[in-house]
Each structure stands twice: as structure tokens, then as C-alpha cells.
């Protein structure tokens, strides 16, 4: 995380403090008089409009039982799902489901060693549940196959499935607080409950104030560390002089294989704060090896839609996937940009942009599509973006 330019910071501060002061009292009601000891990271406020404050006070008077590991389990098709769930056993029982191949085998991200992917049921077009899996890539004859695999997380996509305490999509924010009490982390669109490395992330729609996604993380930290260890993360690498104005975001830079480019390094960067410019995202391809290695930067991607006058806080996620079924590899990027500050720090929102690969193997953007993705709120996760785009007719020459 970087420290913003102070002038810019105080401008944001003066704008934000006015709108956050009144709403802090609502969330403090929730803390039930224990604000001094509450370990809550209140990154954004305004959860309860004024007319709902009394209702919120009544709701949070409940005293739910402390979280147990069992609270992070769910049941699907009479099968208990937890951090030790055997993915290959699920596949043996239920198969890969319809759409597995057409959705690029559920691909989310990957490199030459691991791939992160979704196992979706009952199908990929309209899933009830998504299992996020990390698999080690192995060679079987001449084919690359999934070797050792484990469950990273589960996303509940349908209201007929409930958490252990009975929460489902469509429930109110009040019910979340009544069932689970004080969260570990509060953001503008979610409440996070954590215990022993397990995380329950409950997202809601800010307009309807209803839960719209329940995401349970079982082995997320392990998967990030494992995948990152095989990614383009070389702390001792010499900096490329062409990238001097930028800071490489190593967690979102990957070795990958792209049509027409072969094996390359996809480099995510942010403009260095010392340039005194808005911190914005920029992406490059570097040669991974061979005769072009000395030229290092092989390609500079077009302007990222998320920049557009915004100050980018971080690159959040990257996925390489054929989104329009033309046989070429497209790239989805999600970043967080700064919307303001409050008494507890910087406020951010996600913004997504897509690079479509053209017939000549270079990349282009479709600003109108990017605009629609972000205006309709399909920008929170890679899956949100991919599902939205898969329903569009996109032809890139």
C-alpha cells in the first residue's frame, strides 16, 4: 500500500469527513458499548440509512454465540463441505457439470505450475454453487491434467442454500448481524467473519440492502502463497529500465502463454508515487526467455479503463481467458481505486477492464463494454466479469 500525496490526501479528507461523521454512530450502536476493545476495521460507513437506525439498534441487541469452525461448513447434495473436502471425490460423484469445457475448464488464473479454477454446479451458465479450486498441473502422456487439488473457497449463488446458521442470499443485513454479531472487518459492501484461518465474507447490494453473495474461504492464504511461489515473483530480478516510472505489482504479475507471443511475463504496474502524478495502472508483456530476452518489454497494453482520472490503490485480480470464444486469449483486470477517506483510512471501490486479443495478437479495449460492466456492478470478482461478458456478443477483428 502506498501513501498518497499529502495535498491530495487532505482534499479527500475534507470531502469525506463530512459524510462519514453521522454514520459512525450507527455502526457504533452495533459495537454495543465496546468500541474501545472492538477489533473492527471500519473502512466505510453508512450501512443504515437514518430512517432504519432504530431497527438496526433492535437487531444488534442480539448476542449470537461465538463462531466455531463448524459455522464455516455447508451442505450441498447431502455432502458436507469444509476445508478438508476432497475435490476429486466430488468430481467422481457429480462430474464436471455442463459448460465445463466451453467455460475454459473453469479457468480463473494460472501459470506453468498451478491453475486456479471454478467447479460449478449444476452448470456453469447458471450455477447454484461455485467451488474455487487450486490444482497442480501435471503431465499425463502428452496432456496437461489437474494433479493434486484442494478446495480454496465456496461461493453460494442461490438462495436455496444456507450457511450453518441459516443465512441465505436475499436475507437482510439485519439478519446477518442477528445471526453472526460483530464482524472482523467491515467494508462498504461486505462483512467479514473470521476464525482459525477460515473466513465468511457476506456481500450485500447497497440499494436493496439484501445479501447477494456468500463466500466462504477455507484455504485462501495457502493457495495464494503456493500459486505466487510459482508466479513471476523474483525479488532479486534487476529492474527493467523501461519500467522505471512504475512499481511492479508482483502479486498480480504472471508467467503465462499467449497466442502469438508464446511464454511471456504479464507485468502489472502502478505509476510510482514519486512521479507526483495520479497513481494509475499500466500493463506490459516481457519476454520470458530466448532471443528476445534482451528487449525485455515486448508490448505495452492500451490505457486501462480503470484509470480514467481515478487514483488506483492496487491491482486486485487478473485472469487470462477466451471471453468471446474466438480462440484468442483475453485478459480481465480488476483494480481498486480511491473514492475518498474517512476517520479510519482510505475508501476504495472496484473497477474492471478487459483487453481483447485481436487477430494480429495485439490487444484492444471496448470502452462501452467496460463502462457497462462497471455501471451494472459486475466488477466485484473475476467471475462477475466473466459471467457478464459471456452473455454479450463480442466480435473483435
Average pLDDT over residues 276-288: 84
Tens of pLDDT along 291-319? 444 557 899 999 999 998 888 989 999 99
| Strand, helix or coil for residue 326 | coil
Of 11-15, 62-66, 278-282, 320-324, minimum mean pLDDT range: 11-15
Average pLDDT over residues 322-338: 92
- pLDDT surpasses 70 at 28: no
- pLDDT surpasses 80 at 258: yes
Closest C-alpha to 168, from 155, 177, 159: 159
Average pLDDT over residues 118-143: 89
Average pLDDT over residues 259-279: 81
Residue 270 C-alpha from the chain's centroid: 18
Containing H/E element for 87? helix 87-94
The values of phi and psi at residue 369, to 5°, are -65, -45
CA distance 373 to 227: 28
Average pLDDT over residues 169-191: 87
Of the chain, the percentage scoring pLDDT greater than 90 comes to 45
Q: CA gyration radius for the chain?
A: 22
- pLDDT surpasses 70 at 102: yes
> Are the C-beta atoms of residues 299 and 285 closer than 8 Å to each other?
yes
Residue listed under C-alpha cell 448476542: 63
Query: CB-based burial of residue 344 (10 Å sphere; 0-12 exposed, 13-18 middle, 19+ buried)?
Result: middle
pLDDT at 345: 55
Q: Which carries the bigger pLDDT value, residue 315 or residue 240?
A: 315
> Are the C-beta atoms of residues 344 and 41 closer than 8 Å to each other?
yes
Of 46-55, 282-291, 329-338, minimum mean pLDDT range: 46-55
pLDDT at 17: 36
The values of phi and psi at residue 245, to 5°, are -75, 0
pLDDT at 289: 62
Return all residues near 391 (Cβ < 8 A) that are at least 6 apart.
Answer: none
Tens of pLDDT along 186-224? 876 788 999 999 999 999 887 888 999 999 999 998 888
Set of cell numbers at residue 101 = 469445457
pLDDT at 57: 38
As a whole number, the mean pLDDT across the chain is 78
The band of 145, judged by pLDDT with boundaries at 50, 70 and 90, is confident
> Are the C-beta atoms of residues 150 and 129 closer than 8 Å to each other?
no
Domains of the chain by residue range: 62-230, 231-390
- pLDDT surpasses 90 at 163: yes
Q: Which carries the bigger pLDDT value, residue 242 or residue 108?
A: 108
Residue-wise burial string across 188-220, b where 16 or more C-beta atoms lie within 10 A, e elsewhere: ebbbbbeeeebbbbbbbeeeeeebbbbbbbbbb
Highest mean pLDDT among 101-115, 154-168, 294-308: 154-168
DSSP secondary structure letters along 246-260: EEE-GGG-EEEEETT
DSSP secondary structure letters along 346-388: EEEEEEEEEEEE-TTS-EE--HHHHHHHHHTTTTSSHHHHHHH
Closest C-alpha to 317, from 240, 394, 224: 224
Give the relative orientation of helices 382-390 and 367-375 as an angle to the nearest 10 degrees.
120
CA distance 176 to 166: 10
Of 150-164, 229-243, 267-281, 291-305, minimum mean pLDDT range: 229-243
Amino acid at each position: 500500500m502506498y501513501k498518497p500525496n499529502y495535498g491530495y490526501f487532505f482534499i479527500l479528507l475534507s470531502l469525506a469527513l463530512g459524510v462519514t461523521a453521522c454514520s459512525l454512530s450507527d455502526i457504533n450502536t452495533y459495537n454495543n458499548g465496546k468500541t474501545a476493545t472492538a477489533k473492527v476495521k471500519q473502512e466505510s460507513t453508512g450501512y443504515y440509512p437514518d430512517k432504519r437506525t432504530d431497527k438496526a439498534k433492535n437487531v444488534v441487541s442480539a448476542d449470537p454465540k461465538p463462531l466455531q469452525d463448524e459455522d464455516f461448513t455447508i451442505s450441498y447434495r447431502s455432502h458436507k463441505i469444509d476445508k478438508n473436502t476432497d475435490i476429486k471425490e466430488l468430481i467422481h460423484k457429480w462430474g464436471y457439470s455442463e459448460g465445463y469445457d466451453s467455460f475454459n475448464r473453469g479457468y480463473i488464473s494460472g501459470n506453468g505450475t498451478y491453475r486456479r479454477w471454478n467447479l460449478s454446479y449444476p452448470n456453469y451458465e447458471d450455477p447454484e454453487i461455485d467451488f474455487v479450486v487450486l490444482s497442480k498441473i501435471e503431465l499425463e502422456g502428452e496432456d496437461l491434467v489437474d494433479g493434486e487439488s484442494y478446495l480454496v473457497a465456496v461461493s453460494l449463488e442461490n438462495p436455496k442454500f444456507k450457511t450453518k446458521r441459516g443465512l441465505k442470499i436475499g436475507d437482510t443485513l439485519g439478519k446477518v448481524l442477528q445471526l453472526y454479531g460483530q464482524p472482523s472487518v467491515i467494508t462498504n459492501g461486505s462483512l467479514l467473519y473470521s476464525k482459525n484461518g477460515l473466513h465468511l465474507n457476506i456481500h450485500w447490494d447497497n440499494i436493496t440492502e439484501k445479501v447477494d453473495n456468500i463466500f466462504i474461504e477455507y484455504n485462501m492464504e495457502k493457495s495464494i502463497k503456493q500459486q505466487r511461489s510459482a508466479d513471476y515473483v523474483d525479488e532479486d530480478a534487476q529492474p527493467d529500465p523501461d519500467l522505471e516510472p512504475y512499481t511492479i505489482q508482483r502479486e498480480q504479475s504472471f508467467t503465462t502463454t499467449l497466442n502469438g507471443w508464446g511464454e511471456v511475463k504479464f507485468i502489472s504496474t502502478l505509476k510510482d508515487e514519486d512521479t507526483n502524478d495520479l497513481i494509475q495502472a499500466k500493463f506490459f508483456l516481457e519476454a520470458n526467455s530466448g532471443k528476445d530476452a534482451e528487449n525485455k518489454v515486448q508490448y505495452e497494453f492500451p490505457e486501462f479503463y480503470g484509470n480514467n482520472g481515478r487514483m488506483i490503490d492496487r491491482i486486485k485480480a487478473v485472469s487470462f481467458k477466451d471471453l468471446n470464444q474466438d480462440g484468442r486469449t483475453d485478459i480481465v483486470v480488476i483494480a481498486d481505486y480511491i473514492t475518498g477517506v474517512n476517520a479510519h483510512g482510505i475508501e476504495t471501490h472496484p473497477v474492471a477492464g478487459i483487453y481483447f486479443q485481436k487477430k494480429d495478437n495485439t490487444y484492444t479495449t471496448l470502452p462501452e463494454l467496460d463502462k457497462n460492466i462497471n455501471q451494472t456492478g459486475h466488477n466485484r470478482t473475476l467471475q462477475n466479469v466473466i459471467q457478464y461478458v459471456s452473455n454479450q456478443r463480442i466480435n473483435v477483428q
